[in-house]
Amino acid sequence: MREENPTPLRLICLVKFVPDMDGFSYDYEQEKLQRDHIRMIANPDDAAAIAFALEVKQRQPSTHIEIVTMAPRSVQPHMMDLLRLKIDAGTMITDPVFAGSDTYATTTILKKFLDNRSYDCILTGTRSLDGATSHVPAQLAEALGLDHMQDITKIDLQRFNRQRAVFQVEDEFDITTYEMAMPGILSLTQSSGYKLPYIAYEDFNRDVSDKLTLLSNRKLQCSPSEIGLDGSLTQVVKTFTTEHQKRTRKVIHTDEDGMDYVYSFLRKRGYV
């Protein structure tokens, strides 16, 4: 029997659309990725956070889910696809003056938006494919005065409500269970296994434009000195392309020589 929550949960999911790693371009003069003319996808960690929110809504149908992104208008079709799932509302924070914002300026913009929003929990991914710094969720928690945890691999649905969340964080050594008072910011990872459902066939072309709000800086009223390149405190000293080393492949057979090789390999690295 499902528990009835007298006050609907309000979840805000922050999603970043990142370049498809099969092809992207970089502006070396401006020190930023060119996002306007490349294929974008929902960041996998962020997609896991949205997928978890949908599981909450399946258990508690009154749950209100809003997805929020800061992105150029070119990603609007991707937002529409997410809104064709059981998501109640979406907001695109989009304005050319935001271009070039680093994680600090991005946090400033998102805080300005969230200051006027009601929520019980903010769900995010831990890292993004195009940066992997994990700065924004932690900085946002600090700016909003909220508790935050990252690298979450599982959230207990039965112990997730307006008062608290119980979840697991896994590292290379342990799996640790935490309990956090809500509201707070929970950052999941792709390894959590939460997967976005497919869009129902009958919803492929459903008009969801009434669910989407486009928000410019005219509404947010961020100072020009706080956003874009002017508001970005990160100083890029140098950019370079990673050079990958070619590794040799060795096939080990399940015979005496193979076992001796594996044992020697593990012993050299201190595992045995």
Instruction: State the Cα–Cα distance between residues 50 and 9, nearest whole angstrom.
Output: 14
Using a 10 angstrom Cβ sphere, with 0-12 exposed, 13-18 middle and 19 or more buried, the burial of residue 198 is exposed
Q: What is the pLDDT of residue 1?
A: 39
**By the 8 A CB rule, do 191 and 153 touch?**
yes
Express each pLDDT in 213-257 by its tens digit: 999 999 999 999 999 888 888 877 766 555 656 666 678 888 888
Q: For strand 175-181 and strand 164-170, is the pairing parallel, antiparallel, or unpaired? A: antiparallel
| Residue scoring higher pLDDT (123 or 234) | 123
Residue 21 — pLDDT band, cuts 50, 70, 90? Answer: low
Q: pTM for the complete prediction?
A: 0.79
Residue 227, both tokens: 């956003």
3-class SS at 37? coil
Crossing angle, helix 103-114 and helix 135-144, to 10 degrees? Answer: 40
The single residue listed with the structure tokens 């119980």 is: 166
Q: Give the chain's domains with CATH numbers.
A: 10-247 (3.40.50.620)
Q: What is the pLDDT of residue 131?
A: 73
Using a 10 angstrom Cβ sphere, with 0-12 exposed, 13-18 middle and 19 or more buried, the burial of residue 107 is buried
Closest by CA position to 16, among listed 112, 121, 135:
135
Q: What is the pLDDT of residue 239?
A: 62
Express each pLDDT in 64-122 by its tens digit: 999 999 999 989 999 999 999 999 999 999 999 999 899 999 999 999 999 999 999 99
Residue 23 — pLDDT band, cuts 50, 70, 90? Answer: low
Closest by CA position to 187, among listed 102, 253, 94, 122:
122
In order of 98, 101, 105, the CA distances from 229 in angstroms are 8, 6, 8
Provide the phi-psi class of 98: left if phi over 0, else alpha when psi is between -120 and 50, else beta.
alpha
Q: What is the pLDDT of residue 265?
A: 84
Q: What is the DSSP letter of 264?
A: H
Instruction: State the Cα–Cα distance between residues 211 and 83, nearest whole angstrom.
Output: 7
Q: What is the DSSP letter of 1?
A: -
Q: What is the pLDDT of residue 262?
A: 86
Terminal-to-terminal C-alpha distance of the chain: 50
**By the 8 A CB rule, do 133 and 104 touch?**
no
**By the 8 A CB rule, do 134 and 142 touch?**
no
* Residues paired with 41 in a beta bridge: 18
Count of alpha carbons within 13 Å of 52, Cβ hemisphere only?
32
